[in-house]
Amino acid sequence: MRRIRITVSYDGTEYHGWQLQPGLATIQGVLEQILGGIEGRPVAVHGSGRTDAGVHALAQAAAFDLTNPIPVTNLRKAVNRLLPPDIRITSAEETGPDFHPRFNARAKTYEYRIFRGEVCPPFERRYVYHHPYPLDEDAVAEAAGLFVGAHDFAAFAAADQTDVPGTPRVRTVFSSAAWRDCDRLLFRIRGSGFLKHMVRNMTGLLLEVGKGNLSPDDVRERLATPAAFRPGPAAPARGLFLISVEYPS
Protein backbone atom coordinates (compact mmCIF):
# COMPACT_ATOMS: atom_id res chain seq x y z
CA MET A 1 0.00 0.00 0.00
CA ARG A 2 1.31 3.45 -0.98
CA ARG A 3 0.40 6.72 0.68
CA ILE A 4 0.20 9.59 -1.78
CA ARG A 5 0.35 13.22 -0.72
CA ILE A 6 -1.17 15.79 -3.08
CA THR A 7 -1.64 19.54 -3.31
CA VAL A 8 -5.04 20.56 -4.66
CA SER A 9 -6.11 23.91 -6.08
CA TYR A 10 -9.78 24.63 -6.62
CA ASP A 11 -12.44 27.21 -7.35
CA GLY A 12 -15.00 26.46 -4.66
CA THR A 13 -17.89 28.39 -6.24
CA GLU A 14 -19.84 25.36 -7.45
CA TYR A 15 -19.10 23.12 -4.45
CA HIS A 16 -20.57 22.60 -1.00
CA GLY A 17 -17.12 22.80 0.57
CA TRP A 18 -14.35 20.26 0.91
CA GLN A 19 -16.00 17.60 3.07
CA LEU A 20 -17.96 14.71 1.59
CA GLN A 21 -21.73 15.20 1.82
CA PRO A 22 -24.20 12.69 0.37
CA GLY A 23 -26.01 14.03 -2.66
CA LEU A 24 -23.94 17.21 -2.85
CA ALA A 25 -20.95 18.17 -4.97
CA THR A 26 -17.84 18.51 -2.79
CA ILE A 27 -14.12 18.60 -3.52
CA GLN A 28 -13.43 15.48 -1.46
CA GLY A 29 -16.32 13.67 -3.12
CA VAL A 30 -15.09 14.40 -6.64
CA LEU A 31 -11.53 13.29 -5.82
CA GLU A 32 -12.70 10.06 -4.16
CA GLN A 33 -14.91 9.18 -7.12
CA ILE A 34 -12.06 9.60 -9.62
CA LEU A 35 -9.40 7.89 -7.50
CA GLY A 36 -11.79 5.04 -6.71
CA GLY A 37 -12.22 4.49 -10.44
CA ILE A 38 -8.46 4.33 -10.94
CA GLU A 39 -7.93 2.02 -7.95
CA GLY A 40 -10.94 -0.19 -8.61
CA ARG A 41 -12.19 0.16 -5.04
CA PRO A 42 -13.25 2.99 -2.70
CA VAL A 43 -10.44 5.40 -1.83
CA ALA A 44 -10.67 7.73 1.18
CA VAL A 45 -9.07 11.13 0.62
CA HIS A 46 -8.11 12.99 3.79
CA GLY A 47 -7.62 16.77 3.67
CA SER A 48 -5.75 19.15 5.96
CA GLY A 49 -9.11 20.51 7.03
CA ARG A 50 -12.51 21.55 5.78
CA THR A 51 -13.23 24.60 3.67
CA ASP A 52 -16.74 26.04 3.60
CA ALA A 53 -19.08 26.04 0.64
CA GLY A 54 -17.85 28.61 -1.87
CA VAL A 55 -14.35 28.96 -0.36
CA HIS A 56 -11.38 28.55 -2.70
CA ALA A 57 -7.94 26.99 -2.26
CA LEU A 58 -4.60 27.70 -3.90
CA ALA A 59 -2.89 24.83 -2.08
CA GLN A 60 -5.05 22.45 -0.06
CA ALA A 61 -3.12 19.42 1.20
CA ALA A 62 -4.56 15.90 1.07
CA ALA A 63 -3.46 12.26 1.16
CA PHE A 64 -4.81 8.82 0.30
CA ASP A 65 -3.68 5.19 0.01
CA LEU A 66 -3.36 3.26 -3.26
CA THR A 67 -2.24 -0.22 -4.28
CA ASN A 68 -2.11 0.81 -7.96
CA PRO A 69 1.58 1.01 -9.00
CA ILE A 70 1.10 3.99 -11.36
CA PRO A 71 3.96 6.52 -10.94
CA VAL A 72 2.87 9.67 -9.12
CA THR A 73 3.59 11.91 -12.12
CA ASN A 74 1.35 9.81 -14.32
CA LEU A 75 -1.25 9.62 -11.55
CA ARG A 76 -1.40 13.40 -11.31
CA LYS A 77 -1.83 13.71 -15.07
CA ALA A 78 -4.49 11.00 -15.18
CA VAL A 79 -6.53 12.51 -12.36
CA ASN A 80 -6.31 16.01 -13.83
CA ARG A 81 -7.63 14.70 -17.15
CA LEU A 82 -10.69 13.34 -15.33
CA LEU A 83 -11.27 16.24 -12.94
CA PRO A 84 -13.60 19.12 -13.80
CA PRO A 85 -11.64 22.24 -14.83
CA ASP A 86 -12.25 24.02 -11.51
CA ILE A 87 -10.21 21.42 -9.56
CA ARG A 88 -6.55 20.61 -10.22
CA ILE A 89 -3.85 18.56 -8.52
CA THR A 90 -0.74 20.73 -8.72
CA SER A 91 1.67 18.24 -7.13
CA ALA A 92 1.80 14.61 -6.03
CA GLU A 93 4.42 12.58 -4.19
CA GLU A 94 4.77 9.37 -2.22
CA THR A 95 5.06 9.88 1.51
CA GLY A 96 5.44 7.81 4.65
CA PRO A 97 2.58 5.71 6.01
CA ASP A 98 2.35 7.88 9.13
CA PHE A 99 1.74 11.13 7.27
CA HIS A 100 -1.67 12.70 7.89
CA PRO A 101 -2.48 16.03 6.21
CA ARG A 102 -4.52 17.27 9.16
CA PHE A 103 -2.65 16.01 12.22
CA ASN A 104 0.84 16.73 10.86
CA ALA A 105 0.06 20.29 9.73
CA ARG A 106 2.00 22.97 11.60
CA ALA A 107 0.48 26.12 10.09
CA LYS A 108 -2.12 27.31 7.61
CA THR A 109 -2.46 30.61 5.83
CA TYR A 110 -5.74 32.13 4.65
CA GLU A 111 -6.36 35.31 2.68
CA TYR A 112 -9.58 37.26 2.35
CA ARG A 113 -9.96 39.57 -0.67
CA ILE A 114 -12.20 42.63 -0.66
CA PHE A 115 -12.65 44.60 -3.87
CA ARG A 116 -12.85 48.31 -3.07
CA GLY A 117 -13.38 49.81 -6.54
CA GLU A 118 -16.75 51.26 -7.51
CA VAL A 119 -17.27 48.72 -10.29
CA CYS A 120 -16.23 45.12 -9.72
CA PRO A 121 -15.01 43.50 -12.96
CA PRO A 122 -17.22 40.52 -13.86
CA PHE A 123 -14.18 38.24 -13.97
CA GLU A 124 -13.37 39.07 -10.32
CA ARG A 125 -16.86 38.69 -8.85
CA ARG A 126 -16.47 34.99 -7.92
CA TYR A 127 -13.25 35.59 -6.01
CA VAL A 128 -13.75 38.81 -4.02
CA TYR A 129 -16.29 40.46 -1.76
CA HIS A 130 -17.26 43.74 -3.43
CA HIS A 131 -17.40 46.53 -0.84
CA PRO A 132 -17.07 49.96 -2.52
CA TYR A 133 -18.47 51.88 0.47
CA PRO A 134 -16.55 54.15 2.90
CA LEU A 135 -14.16 52.20 5.11
CA ASP A 136 -11.44 53.32 7.54
CA GLU A 137 -8.73 50.98 6.27
CA ASP A 138 -6.19 52.16 8.85
CA ALA A 139 -8.57 51.04 11.61
CA VAL A 140 -9.03 47.71 9.82
CA ALA A 141 -5.26 47.23 9.69
CA GLU A 142 -4.90 48.11 13.39
CA ALA A 143 -7.63 45.67 14.39
CA ALA A 144 -6.22 42.87 12.19
CA GLY A 145 -2.94 42.95 14.11
CA LEU A 146 -4.74 42.24 17.39
CA PHE A 147 -5.41 38.62 16.44
CA VAL A 148 -1.73 37.68 16.79
CA GLY A 149 -1.00 35.36 19.71
CA ALA A 150 -2.66 32.45 21.49
CA HIS A 151 -6.30 33.23 22.21
CA ASP A 152 -9.61 31.53 22.79
CA PHE A 153 -11.32 32.38 19.49
CA ALA A 154 -14.79 31.18 20.50
CA ALA A 155 -16.21 34.64 19.73
CA PHE A 156 -15.14 34.16 16.11
CA ALA A 157 -16.21 30.55 15.54
CA ALA A 158 -19.49 29.02 14.40
CA ALA A 159 -20.87 26.05 16.29
CA ASP A 160 -19.31 22.76 15.21
CA GLN A 161 -20.73 19.32 15.99
CA THR A 162 -17.20 18.08 16.74
CA ASP A 163 -16.75 20.58 19.59
CA VAL A 164 -16.92 19.51 23.22
CA PRO A 165 -19.25 21.97 25.02
CA GLY A 166 -17.43 24.31 27.39
CA THR A 167 -13.97 23.49 26.00
CA PRO A 168 -11.80 26.55 25.23
CA ARG A 169 -11.27 26.98 21.51
CA VAL A 170 -7.67 28.15 21.66
CA ARG A 171 -5.61 28.66 18.52
CA THR A 172 -2.29 30.44 17.95
CA VAL A 173 -2.09 33.11 15.27
CA PHE A 174 1.49 33.69 14.08
CA SER A 175 0.78 36.67 11.83
CA SER A 176 -2.25 38.75 10.89
CA ALA A 177 -2.33 41.83 8.68
CA ALA A 178 -4.58 43.86 6.40
CA TRP A 179 -3.34 46.14 3.64
CA ARG A 180 -4.39 47.80 0.40
CA ASP A 181 -3.16 46.43 -2.94
CA CYS A 182 -4.54 48.55 -5.81
CA ASP A 183 -8.32 48.02 -5.76
CA ARG A 184 -8.15 45.19 -3.24
CA LEU A 185 -8.10 45.27 0.53
CA LEU A 186 -6.39 42.06 1.64
CA PHE A 187 -6.55 40.35 5.01
CA ARG A 188 -4.00 37.55 5.44
CA ILE A 189 -3.69 35.40 8.55
CA ARG A 190 -1.34 32.53 9.41
CA GLY A 191 -1.95 30.28 12.38
CA SER A 192 -1.68 26.86 13.95
CA GLY A 193 -5.24 26.06 12.94
CA PHE A 194 -8.63 27.63 12.42
CA LEU A 195 -12.14 27.04 13.72
CA LYS A 196 -15.32 26.81 11.67
CA HIS A 197 -16.04 30.14 9.91
CA MET A 198 -13.26 31.73 11.99
CA VAL A 199 -11.57 33.76 9.24
CA ARG A 200 -14.89 34.84 7.72
CA ASN A 201 -16.10 36.01 11.13
CA MET A 202 -12.82 37.83 11.72
CA THR A 203 -13.19 39.56 8.36
CA GLY A 204 -16.79 40.52 9.09
CA LEU A 205 -15.72 42.08 12.38
CA LEU A 206 -12.87 43.96 10.69
CA LEU A 207 -15.38 45.41 8.24
CA GLU A 208 -17.54 46.58 11.15
CA VAL A 209 -14.46 48.32 12.57
CA GLY A 210 -13.80 49.93 9.20
CA LYS A 211 -17.41 51.15 9.02
CA GLY A 212 -17.08 52.74 12.46
CA ASN A 213 -19.69 50.48 14.05
CA LEU A 214 -17.00 48.89 16.25
CA SER A 215 -13.51 49.86 17.37
CA PRO A 216 -10.23 47.95 17.83
CA ASP A 217 -11.11 47.88 21.55
CA ASP A 218 -14.17 45.80 20.67
CA VAL A 219 -11.84 43.25 19.07
CA ARG A 220 -9.70 43.20 22.24
CA GLU A 221 -12.82 42.63 24.31
CA ARG A 222 -13.89 39.63 22.22
CA LEU A 223 -10.46 38.08 22.63
CA ALA A 224 -10.43 38.70 26.38
CA THR A 225 -13.97 37.49 27.17
CA PRO A 226 -15.09 35.30 24.24
CA ALA A 227 -18.01 33.71 26.11
CA ALA A 228 -19.74 37.09 26.30
CA PHE A 229 -20.11 37.41 22.53
CA ARG A 230 -21.76 35.61 19.67
CA PRO A 231 -19.72 35.20 16.47
CA GLY A 232 -20.41 37.20 13.36
CA PRO A 233 -21.20 38.81 11.11
CA ALA A 234 -19.48 36.46 8.67
CA ALA A 235 -18.07 37.83 5.44
CA PRO A 236 -19.22 35.98 2.28
CA ALA A 237 -17.36 32.77 1.43
CA ARG A 238 -16.38 33.80 -2.10
CA GLY A 239 -13.62 36.17 -0.93
CA LEU A 240 -11.74 33.54 1.11
CA PHE A 241 -8.74 31.51 -0.09
CA LEU A 242 -6.73 28.80 1.63
CA ILE A 243 -3.26 29.91 0.58
CA SER A 244 -0.99 27.21 2.02
CA VAL A 245 -0.57 24.40 4.53
CA GLU A 246 2.84 23.93 6.17
CA TYR A 247 4.47 20.74 7.45
CA PRO A 248 7.71 19.95 9.26
CA SER A 249 10.60 19.59 6.83
Known catalytic residues are 52
Q: What does the radius of gyration of the chain's CA atoms come to, in whole angstroms?
A: 19
Q: Which of 189, 197, 192, 187 is nearest to 170 (CA)?
A: 192
Question: Which ranges of the chain does DSSP label H, i.e. alpha helix?
Answer: 27-39, 72-82, 137-144, 198-211, 216-224
Question: What number of other Cβ atoms are within 10 A of residue 164's Cβ?
Answer: 7
- 3-state SS assignment for residue 80: helix
- By CB atoms closer than 10 A (0-12, 13-18, 19+), residue 157 is buried
Secondary structure percentages of the chain, helix, strand, coil, to 5:
30, 30, 45
102: alpha, beta or left, given left = phi > 0 and alpha = psi -120 to 50?
A: alpha
Query: What's the angle, vertex CA 244, arms to CA 238 and CA 78, rounded to 5?
Result: 90
The dihedral formed by the CA atoms of 26, 5, 98 and 46, expressed in degrees to the nearest 10: 0
Q: Which of 231, 212, 22, 200 is nearest to 114 (CA)?
A: 200
